[in-house]
Amino acid sequence: MTIRKNILITGASSGLGEGMARQFAARGRNLALCARRTDRLEKLAAELTAAHPGIKVVTRKLDVTDHDSVFTVFEEFRAELGSLDRVIVNAGLGKGQPVGKGRFDANRQTLEVNFVAAAAQIEAAAGIFREQGAGHLAVVSSFSAIRGLPGNLTAYAASKAGISAFVDGTRLELKRKGITVTDVRPGYIESEMNDRIGRNPLLAKAESGARALVKAIEAEGRRAYVPAWPWVPLSVAMRVVPASILRRFA
C-alpha cells in the first residue's frame, strides 16, 4: 500500500474533517487543513502537533465557494509541504428545504457548495496530481447519492448524486495518469451537519465514524460506504425500496 504522507483536507475545522485530521495525525501524516473558521483550525493544528511532534500541520482560511481561492490555497499547500499526496474534498453543506416552499436560496446554496465548489476542489487537486504524475483524490459524497429523496433532502441528495457522477468521470479520466480516485459515501456519523437527526440507531459515534472514513480512504477503492455496516447492505436495499417508503422522508 502506498503511504500518502502529505494530506490536504477541506472543511477541517469541525465534524468529519476534524475527525479525519485527528486520525491521520495519529498515523504520522503531515496535514494541510483549510476551512472558513481559522480560529478552530489553528487550535486543532496546535493540538495535533503537540500530540504528534513528528508531523507538520499547516492551515489556511478557505471558503470553497470562492473558486479562485481554492486553486490558490491548494498550490500554497503544495509549495509549503513540497507535494500533495492525497486531497480529501470534504467541505459540504446540508441546508436543503422542500421544493416550491419559497426557499430556493437554501437549495441553491446546498447545490453550489456540494456540487460546484466540490468540482472546483476536484479540478484544483487533479491539476496538481497531473503535474506530479501521482496522487489520491478522495471525495466525501453521501449515502444519499443513491436515489432522489423528498423534503429537506431533495437538493442535498441531488448535489451528492451529481458530485458522485463527476467523481466517476474523473476516475476514468485520471486512471491512466497514475492517479487514484475514491467516492466516499458516509451514512450517518455524528457531526454538526447531523445534529438535526437526534437519536438514531444508525448514527455512528464521531470517533468510530472518523476511523471508518480513514480506513476506507486508505484502502483507495473506487467507492466506499462508511461505516461498512450497515451502509453497504443498506445501499443495496436503497436501490429497490418502493417510492412509498421514500416519501416518509418528507
pLDDT values of the chain reduced to their tens digit, one per residue, 250 residues: 678 999 999 999 999 999 999 999 999 999 999 999 999 999 999 999 999 999 999 999 999 999 999 999 999 999 999 999 999 999 999 889 999 999 999 999 999 999 999 999 999 999 999 999 999 999 999 999 999 999 999 999 999 999 999 999 999 999 999 999 999 999 999 876 555 555 677 888 989 999 999 999 999 999 999 999 999 999 999 999 988 888 776 5
In the residue annotation, 225 being an active-site residue is answered as no
Q: Which amino acid is at 209?
A: G
**pLDDT (tens digit, 9 = 90+) per residue, 75-119?**
999 999 999 999 999 999 988 999 999 999 999 999 999 999 999
Domains assigned to the chain: 6-249 (3.40.50.720)
pTM for this entry = 0.94
pLDDT the model gives residue 53: 95
State phi, psi for 90 to the nearest 5 degrees: -120, -25
Q: What number of other Cβ atoms are within 10 A of residue 125's Cβ?
A: 30
Predicted local confidence at residue 121, as pLDDT: 98
Question: How does the average pLDDT of the chain come out, rounded?
Answer: 94
What confidence score (pLDDT) does residue 250 get?
Answer: 56
Write out pLDDT tens, residues 76-85.
Answer: 999 999 999 9
Select which of 156, 166, 188, 231 is catalytic.
156
